[in-house]
Amino acid sequence: MAEHPDSLPPPGPSKPIIKRPRFAPSWVWVVPIVAALVGISMLIQSQKRVGPKITVSFLTGDGLTANKTEVRYKNVVIGKVSAINLHEDRSRVDVEIALVASADPFAAADSRFWVVRPRIGAAGISGLDTLFSGAFIGAEAGEAKETQKQFVGLENPPPITFREQGTRYELHSDTLGSLDVGSGLYYRRILVGQVVSYSLSPDGKGVDLQVFVNAPQDKFVTEDTRFWNASGVDVSLGADGMKISTESLASILAGGVAFLETKYGTAVEQSKAGKKFTLFVDQDAADAANGAPHYIRMRFDQPLRGLTVGAPVEFHGVNIGQVASIDLDYDMVTQKFPTLVGAVIYPNKLGEFYQEIIKNPLVISGRQGHPGWLLSKLVAQGLRAQAKTGSLLTGQLYVSMDIAANAKPVIFDPASQPPEIPTIEGGFDKLQDQLQATVEKISKIPLDKIGINLNSGLEEARVALHQVNASLLPNLHATLKDTDAAVKDINAAVLPELHDALVETRKAMALTNGILAEDSAPRQEVGELLEETSRAARSVRVLTDFLARHPEALVRGRVKDRQPDGYQASPSYSRDIPQEPTP
Phi, psi of 375 (to 5 degrees): -75, -25
Same domain, 311 and 237: no
Give the number of other Cβ atoms within 10 Å of residue 329's Cβ. Answer: 10
Same domain, 305 and 372: yes
Same domain, 136 and 217: no
Does 445 fall in a domain?
no
Same domain, 56 and 171: no
Question: What's the pLDDT score for residue 571?
Answer: 47
Same domain, 318 and 416: yes
Domain of 111, in residue numbers? 43-152
Question: What's the pLDDT score for residue 245?
Answer: 58
Does 190 fall in a domain?
yes
Same domain, 183 and 231: yes
Domain count, the chain: 4
Any idea what DSSP says for residue 282? S
Which portions of the chain are predicted below pLDDT 50? Answer: 1-2, 238-241, 363-369, 561-562, 566-583
Does 260 fall in a domain?
yes
Q: Which of 429, 458, 475 is the last residue of a domain?
A: 429
Same domain, 71 and 190: no
pLDDT digits (tens, 9 = 90+) for 517-568: 667 677 777 778 888 888 888 888 888 888 878 777 777 766 554 455 544 4
Same domain, 239 and 302: no
Does 366 fall in a domain?
yes
Give the number of other Cβ atoms within 10 Å of residue 400's Cβ. Answer: 18
Q: Which of 152, 184, 211 is the last residue of a domain?
A: 152
Question: What's the pLDDT score for residue 121?
Answer: 56
Does 441 fall in a domain?
no
Same domain, 277 and 345: no
Q: Which of 231, 262, 287 is the last residue of a domain?
A: 287
Q: Which spans in 50-119 are helix H?
A: none
Cα(156)–Cα(552) distance, rounded to whole angstroms? 151
Same domain, 302 and 278: no
Question: What's the pLDDT score for residue 583?
Answer: 39
Same domain, 259 and 182: yes
Does 491 fall in a domain?
no
Does 408 fall in a domain?
yes
pLDDT digits (tens, 9 = 90+) for 481-513: 888 888 887 777 777 888 888 888 888 888 777
Does 562 fall in a domain?
yes
The amino acid occupying position 583 is: P
Same domain, 406 and 310: yes
Cα(555)–Cα(284) distance, rounded to whole angstroms? 121
